[in-house]
Copies of this chain bind each other. A is one copy, B any other.
Amino acid sequence: MGQKREGARRAARSRCGVYECSACALYRSGKCPGCASGNLRLSRQGDLLCPVYQCVRALDIAGCHECRKERCLLGRRASLRCQLRVRFGGERASPVFLRRIAATRGVGVGPAGQASGQSADRLRGYLGLLAEYEQRGVEVVSSHQLARSMGVRASLVRRDLAELGGLGTPGKGYEVAAAAAAIRDRLDLTRERPTVWLGVGGRTDWTHAMEALRAVNCSLVGVFDDTDRGRIMGNLSIQPLSRAVAEVRRTAATVAVVASERAARRELLESLVEVGVRAILNLTPRRLDLPAGVVVEQCDLRAQMVRLVSRLGGDGAGQAQRDRGKHGARSAAR
């Protein structure tokens, strides 16, 4: 960490305009451990490092002002907060910031979006149910029906749905199609999102995958794999992984599906994020560790099994017993 590093301490406000030591309370109080030792300490504890520090080190420059990159990624990153201040200066991270970070680990709960925590989860649920009803040809549902399937009270469903604007006719219910559309809209599932698929891994049946992508308006614009290279896939030919970055840039893809261990390499994914990927569905068991601001969804068998079994939870018997005791279950037929 030679002199160069320490030079960053006093760096002037740079093009990206994101840092300025003199404005930092911790720095002024004289308690700032400094970039080098502070981050060393953070890393020892397995904590996140200061993103600017990381960037500056990786580029081997003194500070942001020496950076000649076309566009500063940090500038639009939610992680742009001094980890030192947070850790050693007792500064509190904002809730939004916290969620944002959590999203990149694919581990936090709830969405980073706008619909407040729980609510968005339920909206997804309603959407699934509505699709079911639609398929069955049902045109109108009541809050009671949805509530039953979701495991909540009808009033809550009404509240959720009321926030989407005046769907719902008194005495009748909600029109399935309209409600589904409104939810999709609120969940921002209507926006067109170019999507790349990384790693074919022996996948032969693409109809399901394509359908799934279409369901959320993600259009597949590139499939990449080194082993199956060249084969034609729908109207796309499989390209080598090394082309992925260029293609993401060209097609302005914002969503990536990672389906093979080779594609889950950190460097590759980081470059993809640099050129615009904002959401990653990770189908591999490998844990991704990406810059904040990206949304990662972990979906390997292990994670799912944990969910399943933990929901199965304690002896259901005991629970049911208690339930029955309290409310009685006699007289179920007449």
Tell me the A residues contacting B by CB distance below 8 Å: 8-11, 18-24, 27, 32, 34-35, 45-48, 50-53, 56, 63-64, 74, 76-78, 80-82, 84-85, 87, 93-94, 96-103, 105, 107-109, 111-115, 118, 120-125, 127-129, 132-133, 136, 138, 141-142, 144-145, 147-153, 187-189, 193, 202, 204, 208-209, 211-213, 215-218, 254-255, 278-281, 285, 287, 293, 295, 297-314, 316-317, 319-320, 322-324, 326-334
Contacts and interface: CB of A to CB of B under 8 A. Distances in A.
Nearest to A129: B107
A138 B46 contact: yes
Copies of this chain, count: 2
24 contacts: A23-B328, A24-B331, A32-B334, A63-B333, A76-B317, A81-B332, A87-B144, A94-B326, A96-B320, A96-B322, A97-B323, A97-B327, A98-B148, A108-B149, A108-B152, A109-B150, A112-B312, A189-B306, A208-B301, A213-B305, A216-B305, A217-B309, A293-B320, A297-B307
A298 B132 CA distance: 14
A255 B306 CA distance: 12
A50 B333 contact: yes
Contacts of A109: 118, 121-122, 125, 150-151
A309 B208 contact: no
A113 B311 contact: yes
A45 B174 CA distance: 12
Given A27-B331, A295-B311, 13 more contacts: A24-B331, A45-B142, A46-B133, A46-B141, A47-B148, A85-B331, A94-B323, A98-B153, A112-B316, A120-B313, A188-B314, A212-B301, A297-B304
A115 B145 CA distance: 27
